[in-house]
Amino acid sequence: MKLNIVPARTGLVWVKLGMRTFFRQPLALSGLFFMFMALMSVATVVPFIGTALALALLPAATLGLMAATQEASKGNFPMPSILVSAFRAGQQRMRAMLVLGALYAGGFLAIMGISALFDGGKFAKLYLVGGAITRELVSAPDFQMAMWVATALYLPLSLLFWHAPALVHWHGVPPVKSLFFSIVACFRNLGAFTLYGAAWLGVFVAGGLAVMLVATLFGAPEIAAAGLVPVALLMAAMFFTSIYFTVNDCFVTSDAEAG
């Protein structure tokens, strides 16, 4: 396995490949994405440890979506069982993925803890536990500061774990090393990832504007209320489909590994 440096324009290619692959198997990939969301939601209701459990399962579940995309890109229909691919690759790889999940959960909860220093935990409680969202709450300066601090700290965490599940599962890289390789790959391909993120932001904005335009043309605001969520979920499923291609291009299999 070797790091591959790609041109910045590759970021747009990743977006196109994600969309194209999604529409090759739209029912399977959207269904798996909703199963992924349901799995995370069910995990959060486990008493006492629900939130931490959902966070710990996220790398493995993300790997499952990448494996589903890999199958779809080959023209195959990904079955629901592919979501648990991370736990079917032998005990060593399974333990490594569980360690990776624990590291992710610990990192995310640490970020929430740091944000709590700015607003007494209001943002962390709302994000992790839920609650009523009021205008007074979200407009409070301390709440906004906590939100921006959490956002700023989450970016490097996401880069650390971007490639890590695939490196652990497909290449047998130890969890801590996979984090190092992941963030190095992101920074070495910063141009591609910047364009990739900007393109997806544009896609989400365009999707929202399209829904609003349809609602305006028909003079029916309820269309916007009813359409924004499913359209956003559909685009999120495409986004998760595209993640596989970012990993696939940033790392190439060596001849020895391929043999």
pLDDT, the chain, mean: 91
Number of domains in the chain: 1
pLDDT at 259: 43
Cβ neighbours, 10 Å, residue 234: 15
pLDDT for 132-148, tens place per residue?
788 888 889 999 999 99
pLDDT-derived band at 248 (thresholds 50, 70, 90) equals very high
Closest among 1, 81, 17 to 9, alpha carbons compared: 17
DSSP-based helix, strand, coil % in the chain, nearest 5: 80, 0, 15
* CB of 242 closer than 8 Å to CB of 18: yes
pLDDT-derived band at 161 (thresholds 50, 70, 90) equals very high
For 189, the 3-state DSSP assignment is coil
Pairwise CA distance, residues 138 & 131, whole Å:
12
Long-range contacts of 145-149 (CB under 8 A, 24+ apart): 145/118, 145/119, 146/115, 146/116, 146/118, 146/119, 146/122, 147/115, 147/123, 149/114, 149/115, 149/118
pLDDT for 66-94, tens place per residue?
999 999 999 999 999 999 999 988 889 99
DSSP state of 86: G
Q: Quick check: 255 pLDDT over 70?
A: no
pLDDT at 256: 45
Q: Quick check: 257 pLDDT over 60?
A: no
Q: What mean pLDDT do residues 225-237 have?
A: 88
Domain region containing 207: 2-258
pLDDT for 179-202, tens place per residue?
999 999 999 999 999 999 999 999
Q: Quick check: 206 pLDDT over 60?
A: yes
